[in-house]
Amino acid sequence: MRTAVISANRVTKSFGTTNVLTDISVDFPAGITGLLGSNGAGKTTFLSLVLGFEPRNGGGLTVLGHDPQTAGPEIRAQMGYSPEHHHLPSDVQAADLVRHMAQLHGLPQQASTERASDALWLVGLGEERFRPIGTMSTGQRQRVKLAAAIAHDPALVLLDEPTDGLDPVQRDDMLELIHRVGNEYGISVVLSSHLLEEVERICDHVVIISNGVVIRSGNIDEMRGDRTGVMVELDGGHELVAATLRQAGLVVDIVGSRLMVDAPPQPGADPYWIHDYIRDVVAWAQVGMRRLGDQTISLEDVFLESNDAASSDAGL
């Protein structure tokens, strides 16, 4: 079993009379975890508590086995952080900034210099490392922040919207880099984002926050697997096939050129009986079949369903 790098139990945080986090109870396992939520959901506030920037109002929180409120410096020495903003001091060279951050995290001068250089090569800025940050593009600055977050070889990095301001090609490159950090470098990653697609692409786990509450968390593949049913894509004859399937007691929705078929569970039956049955009906109807397979669920579906459920529970 993988141990949790972050474990939160009924964490609350308010600023004045505004309750930003009302109940955060979740474990972040080792690996790459996406922290997902719309803007204002409480993601950045939660990261602030993880880093020990702010004291929480209630609940328990451990990061790498310690409470950030009482052991902040010890925890942060083992963590890397890439903030959401990408201003950075314009007249400082990338290598100097990364070296400085490595030193602050406890590395001696020479090791800091060497690892800063290595980290900048790893993020693709080896040739650019002596350039002042003010002359760099947004994509390059995001890479500098990532290099600064990993140069001291942390156990955990928090990346807050690391693809913000990047064009599609730069975004792909950044996601690939983060994937390498989490899988090849052995560093656990918490990727805070409001972009479902990028979380779905590189994360093993996801934690979805809405209005200061964790509304869903778990392994992404398992979440997708929650749904049963079959999807069949046809060239024509949708109504005929759908009507025939409904006569057999199946629930069928027509979505464009696809039929979404929900099959009731049949204990003891071949798990693929429904596939065979649909194939036979389509053959009988003599229409062309393009695709037949399990219904897949996207993270977007999970996110929207979870949000709807949370809204219903809240009586909204």
Segment contacting other proteins by CB under 8 A, of 92-100, 163-171, 217-225, 241-249: 92-100
Least distance between other proteins and beta carbon 128 (Å)? 17
**Which residues are CB-contacts of 265 (< 8 A; sequence separation ≥ 6)?**
228
Pick from 56, 105, 143, 171 the residue near other proteins by CB under 8 A.
Answer: 105
> Contact 76/52 with Cβ under 8 angstroms?
yes
- Asked whether position 303 contacts other proteins by CB under 8 A, the answer is no
CA distances from 183 to 49, 189, 256 (A): 26, 9, 38
Task: Please say which residue, 43 or 238, places its beta carbon nearer to other proteins.
Answer: 43
Pick from 3, 58, 135, 185 the residue near other proteins by CB under 8 A.
Answer: 185
Segment contacting other proteins by CB under 8 A, of 77-85, 162-170, 233-241, 280-288: 77-85
Beta bridge partners of 291: 233
Alpha-carbon distance 35 to 218, whole Å?
Answer: 11
Least distance between other proteins and beta carbon 131 (Å)? 13
Pick from 23, 67, 118, 301 the residue near other proteins by CB under 8 A.
Answer: 118
**Which residues are CB-contacts of 199 (< 8 A; sequence separation ≥ 6)?**
34, 36, 191, 193, 206, 220, 299
Task: Please say which residue, 59 or 83, places its beta carbon nearer to other proteins.
Answer: 83
- Asked whether position 127 contacts other proteins by CB under 8 A, the answer is no
- Asked whether position 309 contacts other proteins by CB under 8 A, the answer is no
CA-nearest of 274, 262, 277, 278 to 229 is: 262
Least distance between other proteins and beta carbon 66 (Å)? 13
> Contact 260/231 with Cβ under 8 angstroms?
yes
Surface-to-core class of residue 145, CB atoms within 10 Å of its CB (0-12 exposed, 13-18 middle, 19+ buried): buried
**Six-digit token pair at 112?**
């800091």
- Asked whether position 73 contacts other proteins by CB under 8 A, the answer is yes
Task: Please say which residue, 105 or 171, places its beta carbon nearer to other proteins.
Answer: 105
DSSP state of 133: G
Task: Please say which residue, 160 or 200, places its beta carbon nearer to other proteins.
Answer: 160
Contacts with other proteins by CB under 8 A: the residue count is 46
**Six-digit token pair at 245?**
């399937």
| E strand or H helix at 273 | helix 273-285
Alpha-carbon distance 198 to 192, whole Å?
Answer: 10
Least distance between other proteins and beta carbon 303 (Å)? 23
| E strand or H helix at 234 | strand 230-234
| Contact flags string 205-224 toward other proteins, x per CB under 8 A | --------------------
Residues that bind other proteins (CB under 8 A): 44, 47-48, 51-53, 72-74, 76-77, 79-81, 83-91, 93, 96, 100-101, 103-108, 111, 115, 118, 122, 148, 152-153, 158, 160, 180, 184-186
